[in-house]
Amino acid sequence: MFEALGRFLFRRRKPLLALTLLFAVLSGAYGVGVFGDMKPGGFEDPGSDSRKAAQLAEKAFPQRSPDVVVVYRDKDRTVDDPSFRQAVTATVEGLPESAVTGYSTFWMTKMPAQVSHDRHATYVGINLRGGDDNAKEEAYKEISDQLDARGLESLRGGPVATGHQAGDEIGKDLGTAEGLSFPVLFLLLVVVFGGLAAASLPLLVGGLSILGSMAVLRLIAQVTDVSVFSMSLVTILGLAVAIDYGLLIVSRYREELERGYAGEEALARTVATAGRTVVVSGITVAVALAGMTFFPFGFLKSMAYGGVAAVVLSVFFSLIALPATLGIMGDKVNALALRRGRRKAAHPDAQGAWYRFAHGLMRRPALVALGALVVLLALATPFLRIDFGANDARQLPDSAQGRQVHNALERDFDSDAVKSIDSLLVLRSSATSPEQGAALQAYAEKLGDTEGATGAQVTGATGTTARVSVTFDGAAVSADARDLVNRLKDVPPPAGAQAYFGGETAVFDDTLDALGDVLPWMLLYIAVATYLLLFLAFGSVLLPLKAILMNLLSLSATFGVLVWIFQDGHLEGLIGFDSTGNIEPNMPIMLFALIFGLSMDYEVFLVSRIREQYDTLGDSTAAVASGLQKIGRLIVNAALLMCVPLAAMATSGVLTMKLFGVGMVFAILADVAVVRLLLVPAVLKLMGRSAWWAPGPLARFYSRFGIKESDAAPEPRQPVTVGG
């Protein structure tokens, strides 16, 4: 099948390349508008009780917890100065009702907590109009330029302002990462290929993939919300995966040229082998990323949309546009060599350093496998004590206003006077009737007497809706606060009433519950789908199971390292961050899907070449050694190249992006160095011929429906003498 595709691509190479260029122009022109169609937020479950509570509060009351907190400060005047008061009140009174539902100043509430210790600063809490994150973001954009008070230092913070600033910071950091990545990648590709012509081709695939993904995301954004954060995944993943696939295709084509093939035959053999590997690998990565759509959160769904689009288009252009370009270039793919007269590359069938390395490993396979397992399990140990927490202003760099507001509130003010867990009640009759008033008061007393609560009071009653706010000590997203929410939910509401709990703690509790409910189904889906795909690719019942288990080991080690660094606070000075003492719960889900897929990428690269050798040599040990000789250097180069844009992302000033970049770089390097190059050869040696075994019915199924290079018999070769 793939061999026939390669011949077709050679015969239609010119019109296919013309269509590719047309696609690039059209998708670029359309896709550039995606930024205006994307939405912020998407971190909450839209069907949760806390979301229903927020919607009830939006309709019935100004929210108790402010969406925006603005700190006003003057080094000379205090809040007791009439001019200070006039400057602040004139500013907030002038805010449009189309964006603001309410605000609270010190002069309204008389709460001492709203004044700094030195009385030279105060904060104003502002509630924005809108029932979800996207609506509040739009409202904030409307007023953000109107919050400066004349003559005062004005700092914008609070959840919505902080989220907006994080989005802006990520956008700038991505631009910087892309600007750094492209020239560095090109230079490294020149070194890898030894020439300018070949080095440009993987970057061509990356550019096409990014342009196409932007157009796809804009189309999706017309029918559903797409998070603005998904563009970060499209640009980085699209570039990284496309370079991997482009590297594989170009390297194999040059290998076929070295063997003496040319023209249609060289391209057919390239697509039949490397093209098949790219398809299997891409499908596996896309399947893993699609698992994020199982979750109800718009953020994870958007990451799945962007990631799948980037991977699928990378496969498409690597399989269509790149071979068509190679067919036109022919042996000119080696043009513009890095230096003249360079030593001729070793024949691809030679037994070189990687061959000897593999045999060295396979002399003591049990010892190598045990050592690799010990290292991975030791790295994974901190993962056992992971502590989840919500994002807050601490994810921003010190230069961001949201971070400065957070620091000022902790340093200069007594306490958070607006923190609470709110019970929003839908009653069977008027909330202001004497009967319901008495019932609400009794309910508030029960909530206030609950273990962990410091008090509760009715803070709103209108129509058939009421609100009871519960105060407590400690952090809003701590385990103790979550336990308190669940105890409060066990308190019976007034007869005939329905209670929905809201506030930061309730949102976080609902988020973790939703993640916990869906995660097992996502894991089952990824495991089953990956197993089936790898069976169709390799015809073995044991190899897919081995691959899945090794991926889980690699993932556990990565998560353990991330906990040790970002939760425990090690390497803060070196990496440049301030630990929050926890991990944002959406990040491990996204990292799991990405790392699982990309780790399987290298598994498919390696095992496909080993399987190819096994089919021609018939000896498992020789197949592992010769397969590693042919693909080992390429896998290492591909991993290093992929780490370039990810490492650039790790320089971001936003903590979540830094964690993402560090986690991905470590995962890729550890997976290649420990799992693919040490553990896989050792385990395959221990498994021997059984690694390729399948029972009769499944073997016949694979023979008929397996994902193969062509229907022709394998090319016969002389068996390789097994050393050691």
**pLDDT at residue 712 tops 50:** no
Confidence at residue 515, expressed as pLDDT on a 0 to 100 scale: 93
**pLDDT at residue 719 tops 70:** no
CA distance 433 to 370: 72
- pLDDT category of residue 561 using cuts at 50, 70 and 90: very high
Residues 660/663/669/674 CA torsion (nearest 10 deg): -150
On whether the pTM is more than 0.95, the answer is no
Mean pLDDT of 221-246: 86
The structure tokens 């306490």 sit at 415
Can you list the alpha helix ranges (DSSP code H) found in 222-342? Answer: 230-258, 263-270, 276-290, 298-319, 321-329
Can you list the alpha helix ranges (DSSP code H) found in 429-503? Answer: 434-448, 479-489
- pLDDT category of residue 395 using cuts at 50, 70 and 90: confident
**pLDDT at residue 230 tops 70:** yes
Mean pLDDT of the chain: 89
The first and second tokens of residue 353, run together, are: 């350093």
Confidence at residue 343, expressed as pLDDT on a 0 to 100 scale: 46
Confidence at residue 225, expressed as pLDDT on a 0 to 100 scale: 87
The structure tokens 């044991």 sit at 542
**pLDDT at residue 46 tops 70:** yes
- pLDDT category of residue 514 using cuts at 50, 70 and 90: very high
CA distance 691 to 623: 12
Confidence at residue 618, expressed as pLDDT on a 0 to 100 scale: 83
Q: Quick: pLDDT tens for 244-263.
A: 899 999 999 999 999 999 99
Please tell me what DSSP assigns to residue 194.
S
Angle between helices 230-258 and 263-270 (to 10 degrees): 130
Mean pLDDT of 561-585: 92
Query: Between 64 and 666, where is the model more confident?
Result: 666
The first and second tokens of residue 150, run together, are: 């004349």
Phi, psi of 153 (to 5 degrees): -75, 130
Share of the chain above pLDDT 70, in %: 95
Count of CB atoms situated within 10 Å of the CB of 262: 12
Q: Quick: pLDDT tens for 190-210.
A: 888 888 888 899 988 988 999
Confidence at residue 302, expressed as pLDDT on a 0 to 100 scale: 92
Q: Quick: pLDDT tens for 592-627.
A: 999 998 888 888 989 988 988 888 888 889 999 999
- pLDDT category of residue 474 using cuts at 50, 70 and 90: confident
Confidence at residue 350, expressed as pLDDT on a 0 to 100 scale: 59
**pLDDT at residue 724 tops 50:** no
Q: Is the CB of residue 272 less than 8 Å from the CB of residue 258?
A: no
CA distance 52 to 691: 53
Angle between helices 263-270 and 321-329 (to 10 degrees): 150
The first and second tokens of residue 285, run together, are: 């990565």
Mean pLDDT of 59-63: 75
Q: Quick: pLDDT tens for 138-169.
A: 899 999 999 999 999 999 999 899 988 888 88
Confidence at residue 181, expressed as pLDDT on a 0 to 100 scale: 83
**pLDDT at residue 26 tops 70:** yes
Confidence at residue 228, expressed as pLDDT on a 0 to 100 scale: 78
In order of 150, 156, 171, 669, the CA distances from 591 in angstroms are 45, 31, 20, 15
Confidence at residue 708, expressed as pLDDT on a 0 to 100 scale: 65
With CA atoms as reference, report the closest residue to 436 among 457, 453, 404, 461: 461
Q: Quick: pLDDT tens for 533-560.
A: 999 988 899 999 999 999 999 999 999 9
Confidence at residue 342, expressed as pLDDT on a 0 to 100 scale: 46
Q: Quick: pLDDT tens for 350-375.
A: 578 899 999 999 999 999 999 999 99
> SS3 for 50-107, per residue?
HHHHHHHHHHHCCCCCCCEEEEEECCCCCCCCHHHHHHHHHHHHCCCCCCEEEEECHH
With CA atoms as reference, report the closest residue to 238 among 292, 195, 282: 282
